[in-house]
Amino acid sequence: MFFSIYNAPTFRMVNSLKFRPMKSIQFIVMFLLATLGSSQGISQTLPADTIQTSAGPLEIYHVGHASLYFIFNDKVIHVDPFSRMGDYSTMPKADLILITHAHPDHFDLNAIEAISKKETKIVLNQESYQSLKKGEILKNGDKTKILGLQIKAVPAYNIVHKRDNGEPFHPKYRDNGYVIDFADVRVYIAGDTENIPEMKDIKNVEIAFLPMNLPYTMTPEMCKSAAQMVKPKILFPYHYKMGKSDPEKFAQIMKDVPNIEVRFRQTRSENK
């Protein structure tokens, strides 16, 4: 097991990463103590994972919780912006915003406004659209092409974890995960979900973001099952610091799963 621990400097830092065959899982734990809300903007303080695609580099920035953004061909794609994770007024303006569902830690009107510009495009589920009143609605199974990116909405729901009244935290058919093709690199953003059977239909994934935010999403065992169905080359567990999940347990139980590189990313916002 390999651990890489460092502090983020105040300038932009990029780790160039290429896919390579792996005989066993490599666990990389990187504690990214980034200063959010600086006048220089968050991309000046958050380290990035950079993945090489056939159309140029894909930069991945982990803001915190379920909030991410990507930079690809000079376009900025934000996912589930949430103001508690940082000052979105300092972050790069969005060319595209993806919203998985309408829970407030994924659908934050103030954060959306802060990163929006006149030409910003938004993709979201029906429930989120009812509040925002703009954007392109995708239902499970729908596809669209924006900024040259192929985007597909996929199911995200609970089977086991439910509210006291018996309703699932995330009912079937309501919320989205997203599969995005950045040229030849396919990224799966699961949203709030459990290890649902539809994951077996998601193929050729290079990078996956799987949630472990208990009691609302997956236990470590569920997340392992999801990883075995999706089979990404790189797996980022995310959306777990505000819940009760055990990332160390997940790292341990993933040791016997070959050919998946598990990377943990932690920002200062998740330490608050």
Q: What are phi and psi of 68, to 5 degrees?
A: -140, 165
User: Is residue 1 assigned to a domain?
Assistant: no
pLDDT at 86: 82
**Model confidence pLDDT, tens digit, residues 92-139:** 999 999 999 988 787 899 999 999 999 999 999 999 999 999 999 999
What CATH number does residue 246 fall under? 3.60.15.10
Region of 148 (left: φ > 0; alpha: ψ -120 to 50; beta: rest) is left
Give residue 235's Cα distance to chain centre: 10
In the chain, % of residues over pLDDT 70 = 79
User: Is residue 256 assigned to a domain?
Assistant: yes
User: Is residue 23 assigned to a domain?
Assistant: yes
**Model confidence pLDDT, tens digit, residues 257-267:** 999 999 987 65
pLDDT of 268 above 70 = no
User: Is residue 2 assigned to a domain?
Assistant: no
**Model confidence pLDDT, tens digit, residues 26-45:** 444 443 333 333 333 444 46
User: Is residue 155 assigned to a domain?
Assistant: yes
Domain that holds residue 99: 14-271
pLDDT at 238: 85
Of 150, 144, 102, 110, residue with least CA distance to 127: 102
The predicted model gives 166-186 an average pLDDT of: 94
Total count of domains within the chain: 1
Region of 165 (left: φ > 0; alpha: ψ -120 to 50; beta: rest) is alpha
Residue appearing with tokens 């193929």:
203
pLDDT of 89 above 60 = yes
pLDDT at 243: 55
**Model confidence pLDDT, tens digit, residues 210-251:** 998 878 889 899 999 999 999 999 999 987 765 567 778 888
Distance CA 246, CA 229 (A): 21
153 DSSP β-pair partners: 178
pLDDT at 169: 86
The predicted model gives 82-92 an average pLDDT of: 88
User: Is residue 185 assigned to a domain?
Assistant: yes
Distance CA 185, CA 181 (A): 6
Residue appearing with tokens 């000079």:
74
Four-CA torsion 156, 157, 160, 165, nearest 10 degrees: 160
User: Is residue 264 assigned to a domain?
Assistant: yes
CA-to-CA dists, residue 170 to 34, 86, 228, 236, angstroms = 31, 25, 22, 21
User: Is residue 6 assigned to a domain?
Assistant: no
